[in-house]
Chains A and B, each alone.
Chain A
């Protein structure tokens, strides 16, 4: 197999807080191949967004400490890049769609200004950056996300648009210049269910049409299964299980994954969802050993002492658990 576009290795990210360091990411490993669609699943607060924002280096730098790890983009570590190289990644390599479309658009500039600025400061050539061409590119991107009358939308302010429209605009901004990898951070969570579905379909269609890779962050296994080829399950800053989407549902191995699957209400078979008892741990004082052990139904003494590494089960299926 060819080399991955993005390869995150043993990534540790800590936040400085008044109570000390919040050790949020605790050795994340994740990779994406060209054209591959990957899901990143986990409950709220498990570090999905932190991982992905590290890729673009858009975490508040004064508060973030990265004691260990690499984020390799075509073999080059994003964490070590200078501003010029970083700009290259941001404008031609990776782009991101945020969870809250209302918060991701600047309220005091028109949609047109914001999209054209993305083009204006991208890596395109001078010739391509002529005024008419910029406008054409922007309009084209807006029509690509199925918005009628791009001209009028360009002159609107974000607060004049509905939530679904705003999210489409965000998608348009993310694809307006060519990118290899699109990171979508729960793009549907803030939207109505029907609109959510439209946005997901739109995303998948665009990614496939343009041959981009996709990392889809979601807390819903159902969405991940529908949208992606391979799924990473994350718990408290660790990847606990990786598998092809089908495999993960057919033979989930990690107790946390099992819990997640059980917590999905099923149409067949009665009863309420089981769910997982407890909460995500305090990152200031995370539990030693496997971070899941305080909540794990199958925990043994070893889980408190030692941290399990991802173990290969074949066919790309990996699990970090001693009990497998």
Chain B
């Protein structure tokens, strides 16, 4: 199988997954709660208003028809109205998504960089004290839930040792750059506003770190075990025997094959990181789509809930395709398959 067929197959499966996901969301948002119209209007609304809304929302139709109308809406970007913000959900998504993407992106960078560094160090000094220290750090790091870490950061850096901002995306005295991409770091760089850039970056560090901590150590352990496994491979003994210096062996001959299993898991890890964003954004008062979704959930704002889950499903599918591409790039056995 060549790369193109491989990716087409992945895309095809992804579409299937998204269709399935839409059914699951439909069930959660429209079927499970009972009467969405009643929920939207509240228990004290008069019955005729509820009936009217039921008609507007096509709730008087059979379920498959309802599903059809709903999917049709989603496909043209009509995600319904939010009960919380009284605006079109699609507009809310547009407004809040960039903040989350920026946060997740920085967190993902933390994960990639630190997991490779720590994993390599642990493998290089395996069974020495460096390895032990990293292992203990990893056990602890993995065991701290993101929201607990976020609360602890808030306590430490918000009250006890305020060296770094803890709330929001920018300090109040900084003028936000004009919205171009919605990513403040990028927008401020485009407009050349360096003070806003630094400020935005500083605001990103703590929430991103809270999100990254668990997956980071998880990945570091995968990198370490892949490296120690590969260390006993003949091709490394051969490369050493042919006189390739040990530094080149570590960063080239050992690292690349060892990254393949790590990158494969990274897709799932980054997804779980996005899930944790729900609580972390609330704690850090981060105006992202996760906080928006969280509020929607607490207020049973069904349209907004569905939209947020769909957005995350799509992001997850995209992340996985990107991960597949990276793995295929790293691993010629996947990229090329058969013989010449």
Give the interface of A toward B (CB within 8 A).
53, 56, 58, 60, 62, 87, 90-91, 95-96, 98, 100, 103-110, 114, 117-118, 121-123, 152, 156-157, 159-162, 170, 173-174
Contacts and interface: CB of A to CB of B under 8 A. Distances in A.
B257 A118 contact: no
Nearest to B128: A62
B232 A60 contact: yes
B75 interface: no
Nearest to B257: A108
20 contacts: A58-B237, A58-B240, A58-B241, A90-B242, A98-B238, A103-B233, A103-B235, A104-B235, A104-B238, A106-B257, A107-B331, A107-B333, A108-B332, A118-B243, A118-B244, A157-B332, A157-B333, A159-B336, A160-B332, A160-B340
Given A110-B332, A161-B340, 11 more contacts: A58-B238, A60-B231, A87-B243, A98-B234, A100-B234, A104-B235, A105-B238, A107-B331, A121-B245, A160-B338, A160-B339
Contact of B244 (A56, A96, A105, A117): A117
A275 to B, nearest CB: 30
B237 A53 contact: yes
Nearest to A60: B232
B330 interface: yes
B15 to A, nearest CB: 31
B194 to A, nearest CB: 40
Q: Interface on chain B toward A: helix, strand, loop, or mixed SS? A: helix
B232 A95 contact: no
Interface residues of B, number: 31
Nearest to B330: A108
A159 B253 contact: no
A100 B243 CA distance: 19
Nearest to B233: A103
Contacts of A170: 238
Closest 5 CB pairs of A and B: A91-B243, A90-B243, A157-B332, A103-B234, A58-B237
Nearest to B126: A62
B248 interface: yes
Contact of B339 (A100, A118, A121, A161): A161
A225 to B, nearest CB: 27
Nearest to A101: B234
Contact of B253 (A106, A122, A157): A106
B245 A106 contact: no
Contacts of B340: 152, 156, 160-161
A234 B27 CA distance: 72
A106 B230 CA distance: 10
A252 B194 CA distance: 85
B256 interface: yes
A53 B237 CA distance: 9
Interface string B252-271: 11001100100000000000
A199 B309 CA distance: 60
Contact of B234 (A104, A117, A122, A152): A104
Contacts of B235: 103-107
Interface string B301-337: 0000000000000000000000000000011110010
A107 B338 CA distance: 13
Nearest to B230: A106
A109 B256 contact: yes
Contacts of A121: 243-245, 248
Contacts of B63: none
A268 to B, nearest CB: 39
B239 interface: yes
B248 to A, nearest CB: 7
Contacts of A87: 243, 245
B2 interface: no
B260 A108 contact: yes
A107 B231 CA distance: 14
Contact of B241 (A90, A106, A109): A90
Contacts of B252: 109, 117
Interface in B58-114: none
Contacts of A117: 239, 244, 248, 252
Given A98-B234, A121-B244, A121-B245, A106 B339 contact: no
Name the residue among B234, B236, B332 with the largest chain A CB count within 10 angstroms. Answer: B234
